[in-house]
Amino acid sequence: VNRTYDRVVKEFNSGKPCARLSVITGPTGTGKTHVMTSLVAALSKQRCIYVPSTLVGELDTPAFMRCMIEQKNAGGGIVLLIEDGDLCLRDRTKFPEDVGKMTAMLNLTDGFLAKALDLRIVISTNLSYEDMDDAVKRDGRLFAHMKIGNLDADRALEVYRRINKGATTDAFVAGETYPLSSVYARSRK
């Protein structure tokens, strides 16, 4: 995860990224939102814009394009952050009702609009890589897939200790895994 994160930061901060889409996958509570928040700070050369998943189908509308042109005219590249973007990533053959949302997002990842507006897109999702549409995973479009999983007991304890200034606990059992949210919740008790 750290190596992929560093690659995304380096590439998305560059003037000409080789591809403009990065997808963060993982179960609920594993830290996808934490990674996206960290990316906002690390992508200091870019304008980061949060797009609610409910507006994914609006990405190619004239009103949204006008907004993106205004942002581009303000200077720098633009990173669209879409949290819980399952609807614009799902396999079109299984979910034909999502084709419009996917098309809107795909049109902004390569081609004329992506280059003219200097867009990059980061999407978090609970979908597995296998459940994503092939068009999303295409070479030249998908720059990075960051898969975040649960922490094993040793790593969970390490995070717990870091949060709690060295304190320890026996809450993490060897052989079990824990979502990051669970480690944070236990740290507050």
**pLDDT greater than 80 at residue 189:** no
Summarised one tens digit per residue, pLDDT across range 52-98 is: 988 988 888 899 989 999 998 888 789 999 999 999 999 999 999 98
Choose between 59 and 32: higher pLDDT.
Answer: 32
1-24: average pLDDT: 91
Whole-prediction pTM? 0.89
**pLDDT greater than 90 at residue 8:** yes
In 10 A of CB 140, how many CB atoms?
11
Are the C-beta atoms of 119 and 80 separated by less than 8 Å?
Answer: yes
Q: Where are the beta strands (DSSP E) in 5-118?
A: 21-25, 46-51, 77-82
Local confidence band at 140 (pLDDT 50, 70, 90 cut-offs):
confident
Local confidence band at 103 (pLDDT 50, 70, 90 cut-offs):
confident
In the prediction, which pLDDT does 18 show?
82
**pLDDT greater than 80 at residue 117:** yes
160-165: average pLDDT: 93
172-189: average pLDDT: 92
Local confidence band at 111 (pLDDT 50, 70, 90 cut-offs):
confident
In the prediction, which pLDDT does 45 show?
85
In the prediction, which pLDDT does 49 show?
94
Q: Closest Cα partner for 101 from 126, 84, 78, 120? A: 84
